[in-house]
Copies of this chain bind each other. A is one copy, B any other.
């Protein structure tokens, strides 16, 4: 492993981080399971990219067959992207009937922001603090990481994101109003500086913010303020989308608002590099009239086939109801564990996306959370941490996670907390 660490540091850079104190040297995956090169088995409670399970045979077959038949770009005509586009847009309730396929969630969000700017003729963008929407230059402006060279651009505003333990505005009840006030303040600033508001971009599950528990309608006032200012709403569904949250296909349905643009990524093709922007035809048309956007790999026959296989598996294996059922079962188990460990200050989530927030002595237990992540790994369960203080155990397994997997997770968590605290 030391040899590998040295090779990584030289090739990929010394600061290319790995998960866990002792990184997992992975060799094989199947369903919810990963195996390392020594043959040790791990329960994967973290990876959302293999949405329908590691190496799902139907997705593997779709990729292998199409790769052996044809893989070229969309300046020729091919049925796969059209068949997929029709199947995908049929999953949206309202007028999101068009799409552009790209290669990553970063490309999708970068494109969505440009579409909003073209459609509105304005440049201002509002996001939340403590978030992540991707890694391009433009999208990085929305991330809460280090200051870009040249500083944050003046057209970007970050508003305080909701939180379960330290709610914006001081109380969970008043949080929607407080969040909307933050958005309204940003709108006023962007209008005063001449940028105007092109879009509010949010993950409708506030996944990187720590997935706080939010009522349906939480965003209504904020959304209305943005629309009144002439801006669009972009829902970044990279994390909650494709039924992970159990109750709906998309996070925005659960919160009850209608975005103008939806971005999709990681789970879309189970690991094959595919992402998309789904929007109204009028927005896509306005954008195409301004820019000749073309994405060489986006929506190629192999990418479309892989994505179609994922969509079919979600339906044929009833993975959304599985997420609802096993998710609820798991949250009950987590509450049970929390009743024995007061360090768990909050258990929350929806479908197969949930977590346990750790506090000790009235403070976020960030270090303990990090210890727990490693302790769980030592005990054969892979998860990670998230949230404003990085003190929430983030649990987000492949959607084929079952009740027996949940039992193993809860038992291991119980034992690990016993050992670490």
Task: Give the interface of A toward B (CB within 8 A).
Answer: 1, 4, 7-8, 10-19, 23-29, 34, 47, 49-50, 54-55, 57, 59-60, 63-64, 67-79, 81-82, 85-86, 89, 97-100, 102-107, 110-111, 113-114, 117-118, 121-123, 135-138, 140, 145-146, 148-150, 155, 265-266, 270-274, 281, 284-285, 287-297, 299-300, 302-303
Contacts and interface: CB of A to CB of B under 8 A. Distances in A.
A18 B77 contact: yes
A111 B104 CA distance: 14
Contacts of A102: 104
Given A107-B106, A136-B137, A291-B140, A72 B15 contact: no
Contacts of A303: 273
A295 B107 CA distance: 11
A15 B117 contact: no
A317 to B, nearest CB: 18
B70 A11 contact: no
Nearest to A299: B12
Contacts of A28: 69-70
Which 5 A/B pairs are nearest by Cβ-Cβ distance?
A15-B288, A137-B138, A64-B64, A273-B297, A71-B271
Contact of A104 (B8, B70, B104): B104
Contact of A24 (B76, B82, B135, B140): B76
24 contacts: A4-B77, A8-B77, A10-B98, A11-B97, A12-B284, A12-B299, A13-B285, A16-B288, A17-B75, A18-B75, A24-B77, A25-B78, A27-B69, A27-B78, A34-B70, A47-B72, A54-B70, A60-B68, A64-B68, A71-B270, A105-B296, A111-B135, A114-B149, A135-B294
Contacts of A145: 291-292
B135 A150 contact: no
A77 B23 contact: yes
Given A14-B288, A16-B288, A273-B303, 20 more contacts: A10-B97, A11-B98, A12-B74, A13-B285, A24-B77, A26-B76, A28-B70, A54-B70, A60-B67, A63-B67, A103-B103, A103-B273, A103-B297, A106-B107, A114-B149, A118-B149, A122-B149, A146-B291, A265-B296, A273-B300
A27 to B, nearest CB: 7
Of A29, A71, A85, A100, most buried by chain B (CB within 10 Å of CB) is A71
B82 A70 contact: no
A72 B50 contact: yes
A74 B4 CA distance: 13
Contact of A123 (B68, B114, B149): B149
Nearest to A106: B107
Contact of A12 (B1, B47, B85, B121): B85
A366 to B, nearest CB: 17
A101 to B, nearest CB: 8
Contacts of A284: 12-13
A62 to B, nearest CB: 10
A76 B18 contact: yes
Contact of A64 (B47, B63, B78): B63
A12 B81 contact: yes
A82 B4 contact: yes
A274 to B, nearest CB: 8
A98 B6 CA distance: 12
Nearest to A1: B77
Contacts of A68: 55, 57, 60, 64
Contacts of A135: 107, 111, 293-295
A285 to B, nearest CB: 6
